[in-house]
Amino acid sequence: MEINNFVFVLLSLITLLCAMGVVLVKNPIHSGLYLVLTMFSIAGHYVLLSAQFVAVVNVIVYAGAVMVLLLFVMMLLNLNKENEPLKSFKVKMLGALVSGMLLVSMVAMYKVKMTTQSMAGIPISKDFGYVKPLGNLLFTKYVFPFELSSILFLAAIVGAVFLGNRNKIEQ
Amino acid sequence: MDLLGFENYLWLCTALFCIGALGVLIRRNVIILLMCIELMLNAANLLFIAFSYKWNNMDGHIFVFFSMLVAAAEVAVGLALIVLIFRKYRTTDIRMFDKLKG
Amino acid sequence: MKEFLPLLVVLSPFIGFAINGILGKKMSKSLSGMIGTLAVITSFICSVILFLQVRSTGGFEIKLFDWLTVATFHVDFAFRIDELSTWMMLIISGIGSLIHVYSIGYMHEDEGFARFFAYLNLFIFSMFLLVMGSNFVMLFFGWEGVGLCSYLLIGFWFKNIEYGHAARKAFIMNRIGDLGLLIGIFLIYKNFGTLNFVEITGLLSSGMHDVASIQWITLFLFIGAMGKSAQIPLYTWLPDAMAGPTPVSALIHAATMVTAGVYLVVRNASMFQLAENTTHFILIIGLATSIFAALIGLFQNDIKKVLAYSTVSQLGLMFVALGVGAYTTAMFHLTTHAFFKALLFLGAGSVIHAMSGEQNILKMGGLKNKIKTTHLTFLVGTLAIIGFPLFSGFFSKDEILEKVYMHSPIIWALTLFSAGLTIVYMLRMYFLTFWGSFKGTEEQKKHLHESPISMTFPLVVLAVLSLLGGLLNLPHFFPHGVAQIQADWISRIPSMQALKVVGHEEHGSLIYILMGIAILVVFILGFIVYSFFNKKNFESAESSSGFALWGANKFYVDELYNFTFVKTTEWKGDMYYAIIEKRIISPFAMSFAKISQFFGKSLRRFHDGNIESYLLYFIIGIIYFVLLILL
């Protein structure tokens, strides 16, 4: 399947380049925009893996809500290129070294632990990735975490509101 | 669908994760730090979906679902905290937040 | 029932100790006094019952439980109830009860009242274990226990540091003797393979032993006796022990603890009989102690110190008796001595009580009309100790003299000399205290009063016993029904049964001659002393020169010991402290602290509060886990 491979390679390239962009550019706003692009490309990967629902959710939640929030906060704090603090070269080197080590060790782990047997797959079912099977699972097998997550959200909302309004409450 | 061998997803996600780790170690702005953490989370999610595809098991999707959920909540609360800190310290440089010293 | 009684005898004072020790402060004084006294009276009643039982059925052994078992070494926690132990039990519990009654009156003002009774009960408990034990380990257990109680009771008024030193001295000197006893016990086990008295006697009589080791064993056992029964050279603690309350002196240092040494020898009589060198040694030490202590006592002015040296001297006499192989005679003198010495001490306590705490006899005088009961009982005790005819002391001393003469006339003469000294110093004390004019202060004169009945009642009982105690062992020429009751009784124990019978020549008329000489000596010396004191109305007191001064200073023995032993030990202690403690042990202990500090300091550098570094450590941790999976 040539075209699949081609798409995969393209998407991977975009993902990786955008990720590098997030990390390396100086201006925080640019960094945030690069992250949005990364989200989109990952959504593309999801589609390629026939996880359509998750792809859409990714775009709506991450790119739509989370990134917007982040960008708003950045604009609120008025961050731009002048405010960006600089790090010493030594620290950057150390950081690069350590994450390089991480990469190398993880790759090594895969190489050592992977066998051809463990990489064999199973052909997918007809409904894979659709909303219906997802909802089915969600409300039967994973109903308890689902309910708990509602409490989690409640806590997060209350926390965020409280923290945001602290001055007014103390007055 | 044969996707150039399945290992490629592994390498992709690992690379994404490590780029996120690099960002965490290098950047001093706390908001960008949060963004790099998001990047790491996304890498993990992608891996989950990949394996879910491989084993033909929808549980992976559920996990990703919850992971996004938690990430959203975490970002909300985290940003509220950052705003508060900014009000006090007037900077987002993490090196200034050293009250845990000693 | 048979098993229960000995257990009750032993447990009763122990329970008294526990109750008084734990709840003592919360109880009223009369209640704690009653509990303590009742405990001992209970033991007395049980002892009487056991005595009667042994009289009908003979001695027996009761095992409570297996105590120590290590490979082939086996020791039981068992009691040996036979003639000797019941005799001792009667003395301990009988005189003990009287002294408890006395203490209720004597210690009435003291705030440590309950503690006193607790310690007294503990002492009685340990003493019972000592005499009732069926093997050497039980004996040693009681031996140590009485040593401990002696320490606790001598230093009872612990707020005075001098008393504490006296207590410590007593304990340490006892300990030196105990070392000898322990070595003796080890040797016994090595030679006989058992520590049970009856078994040892059995092995001895069947001839499985060698004389050399027996000599050493008995020597070491005697060293233990020397410490406990205050013989030369381990006697200096006893006069210092007068720092304790008078009932303590009466009970421990007159009637019971100091007799433990004699008991030890009599219990192993057959062993001692086989070791001639040791018995000669015992004879010499006993005689030397007897004379030496009597000489010191002659020049003492504290009423209790005179009695203390008198005790040492009389103990010497007992060991003289043991040294010539007269075991029952020694027991007889032990019994009569218990009666009259306890009486004398309690009487002295009564006198001190009447004199509002004054103990110097030179400041007393003319008390015979003021404190009549005390005076009369004290007189009885004095007459008993000097061997006045028909009193108990007369019969016991006379028997000792008789047995000694049969051994060697020279030793007899020396013993007679010691007895003579006893007469002189006791009568000196008596006359100075009760006759002549009152030499105390006006304050004391006003407060002179007779002691309460709780104190005089035991005095009277003991006086009667001192008077009639002689009946226990009348000489041979009395009709058989009353003669030698006690000697026959004691002779029934296995150890005595195993004695090789010594040829007993019947010295018919010789006995009368000896007795006559003794009586004559008593009367002559008594008359001399009486006239001496009565004529001059003796004023000057402090010994000022020559021999008298030496005597008053106890012949400087304590100073000698202090110089040779105490100072060297202190010097050694200082040296050890300076070198070993400061330079070796202290730095070693400090090094642990320093290592901890080092680690703390170095690890602290990781906690710099810097979030970046924390994140770095995070990632490094993740790498670590990955590597774990990898490898």
Mean pLDDT of C9-16: 89
Backbone region of residue A87 per phi and psi (left: phi > 0; alpha: psi in -120 to 50; beta: other values): beta
| Cβ within 8 Å of residue C153, ≥6 positions away | C116, C119, C120, C123, C244, C245, C248, C252
Evaluated on CA atoms A138, A139, A144, A149, the torsion sign reads positive
pLDDT of residue B16: 94
Q: For chain B, list the contacting chains (3+ Cβ pairs, <8 Å).
A: A, C
pLDDT of residue C544: 54
Numbered residues of chain C with Cβ closer than 8 Å to any chain A Cβ:
612, 616, 619-620, 622-623, 626-627, 629-630
pLDDT of residue B62: 93
CATH number assigned to the domain comprising residue A67: 1.20.120.1200
Express each pLDDT in C543-556 by its tens digit. Answer: 555 666 776 777 77
Name which residue leads in pLDDT, C524 or C42.
C42
Quickly state the pLDDT bin for B102 (edges 50, 70, 90): low
CB contact under 8 A, B102 and C611: no
Report the C-alpha gap between C69 and C566 in whole angstroms: 39
- Please report residues of B whose CB lies closer than 8 A to that of C622: 21
pLDDT of residue B1: 47
- Please report residues of A whose CB lies closer than 8 A to that of C622: 102
Distance from CA of C593 to the nearest CA of A (A): 36
Report the C-alpha gap between C286 and C261 in whole angstroms: 12
Residue B46 backbone dihedrals phi, psi, to 5 degrees? -60, -40
**Searching chain A, which residue's CA lies closest to the CA of residue B14?**
A103
Evaluated on CA atoms B79, B84, B86, B92, the torsion sign reads negative
Number of domains forming the structure of chain A: 1
Q: Using alpha carbons only, give the angle C286, C289, C294 rounded to the nearest 5 degrees.
A: 130
Which residues numbered 111-130 in A keep a CB inside 8 Å of some CB on C? 112-113
Radius of gyration in angstroms for the set of CA atoms belonging to chain B, rounded to a whole number: 17
Q: Using alpha carbons only, give the angle C105, C111, C112 rounded to the nearest 5 degrees.
A: 90
Output the CA–CA distances (angstroms, integers) from residue C517 to C393, C402, C425, in the order listed: 16, 11, 20
Residue A140 belongs to a domain: no
CB contact under 8 A, B68 and A73: no
CA-nearest of C137, C15, C541 to C301 is C541
- Please report residues of B whose CB lies closer than 8 A to that of A34: none
Mean pLDDT (chain C) is: 84
Express each pLDDT in C322-355 by its tens digit. Answer: 999 888 888 888 988 999 899 999 999 888 888 8
Quickly state the pLDDT bin for C539 (edges 50, 70, 90): very low
Beta-ladder partners of C79 = C62, C133
For the cut 80, the answer to whether the pLDDT of residue C400 exceeds it is yes
Backbone region of residue C242 per phi and psi (left: phi > 0; alpha: psi in -120 to 50; beta: other values): alpha
Picking from C604, C609, C622, the nearest residue to B99 by CB comes out as C609
- Are the beta carbons of A49 and A99 closer than 8 angstroms? no
Quickly state the pLDDT bin for C502 (edges 50, 70, 90): low
ipTM (interface predicted TM): 0.88
Residue C70 backbone dihedrals phi, psi, to 5 degrees? -130, 110
| Cβ within 8 Å of residue C211, ≥6 positions away | C274, C275
Backbone region of residue C35 per phi and psi (left: phi > 0; alpha: psi in -120 to 50; beta: other values): alpha
- Are the beta carbons of C306 and C297 closer than 8 angstroms? yes
CB contact under 8 A, A57 and B65: yes
Residue A101 belongs to a domain: no
Interface mutation target, options A37, A61, A62, A126, chain B, most CBs of B under 10 Å: A62
Express each pLDDT in C115-130 by its tens digit. Answer: 899 999 999 999 999 9
CB contact under 8 A, A121 and B6: yes
Residue A88 belongs to a domain: no
CB contact under 8 A, B36 and A125: no
Q: Token digits for B84?
A: 């508060």
3-state secondary structure of C467: helix
Residues spanned by the domain of A33: 1-83
Picking from A95, A102, A108, the nearest residue to C630 by CB comes out as A108
Residue A79 belongs to a domain: yes
CB contact under 8 A, B101 and C608: yes
CB contact under 8 A, B53 and A23: no
Name the helix (H) or strand (E) containing A13: helix A2-24
Beta-ladder partners of C483 = C474
Picking from C608, C611, C616, the nearest residue to B94 by CB comes out as C611
Q: State which amino acid sits at residue C387.
A: G
Mean pLDDT of C597-603: 90
DSSP states of C231-294 as a string?
Answer: -TTS-THHHHGGGS-HHHHHIIIIISGGGHHHHHHHHTHHHHHH-HHHHHHHHHHHHHHHHHHH
**Searching chain C, which residue's CA lies closest to the CA of residue A106?**
C626
- Please report residues of A whose CB lies closer than 8 A to that of B30: none
Express each pLDDT in C196-223 by its tens digit. Answer: 888 888 888 777 677 788 888 999 999 9
A71-80, C187-196, C260-269, C479-488: segment of lowest average pLDDT: C479-488
Q: For chain C, list the contacting chains (3+ Cβ pairs, <8 Å).
A: A, B
| Cβ within 8 Å of residue C563, ≥6 positions away | none
Report the C-alpha gap between C420 and C413 in whole angstroms: 10
- Please report residues of B whose CB lies closer than 8 A to that of A41: none
pLDDT of residue C429: 87
Residue A125 belongs to a domain: no
Residue A132 belongs to a domain: no
Burial, C527: exposed, middle or buried (Cβ in 10 Å; 0-12, 13-18, 19+)? Answer: exposed
Numbered residues of chain C with Cβ closer than 8 Å to any chain B Cβ:
604, 607-612, 615-616, 619, 622
Quickly state the pLDDT bin for C606 (edges 50, 70, 90): confident
- Please report residues of A whose CB lies closer than 8 A to that of C626: 102, 105-106, 109
DSSP states of C347-377 as a string?
Answer: HHHHHHHHTTT--BGGG---GGGTSHHHHHH
Q: Token digits for C569?
A: 């030990």
Residues in chain A with pLDDT < 70? 1-2, 80-87, 115-121, 168-171
Residue A59 belongs to a domain: yes
How many CB contacts within 8 angstroms connect chain B with chain C?
A: 30
Q: Using alpha carbons only, give the angle C486, C492, C493 rounded to the nearest 5 degrees.
A: 110
Express each pLDDT in B18-49 by its tens digit. Answer: 999 999 988 888 899 999 999 999 999 999 99
Express each pLDDT in B47-74 by its tens digit. Answer: 999 988 888 888 999 999 999 999 999 9
Report the C-alpha gap between B99 and B94 in whole angstroms: 11
DSSP states of chain B as a string?
Answer: ---S-THHHHHHHHHHHHHHHHHHHH--BHHHHHHHHHHHHHHHHHHHHHHHHHHT-THHHHHHHHHHHHHHHHHHHHHHHHHHHHHHHS--BGGG--TT--
Which domains, from first to last, does chain B contain? 7-99 (1.10.287.3510)
Residue A147 belongs to a domain: no
CB contact under 8 A, A28 and B19: no
| Cβ within 8 Å of residue A23, ≥6 positions away | A31, B19, B20, B22, B23, B26, B27, B36
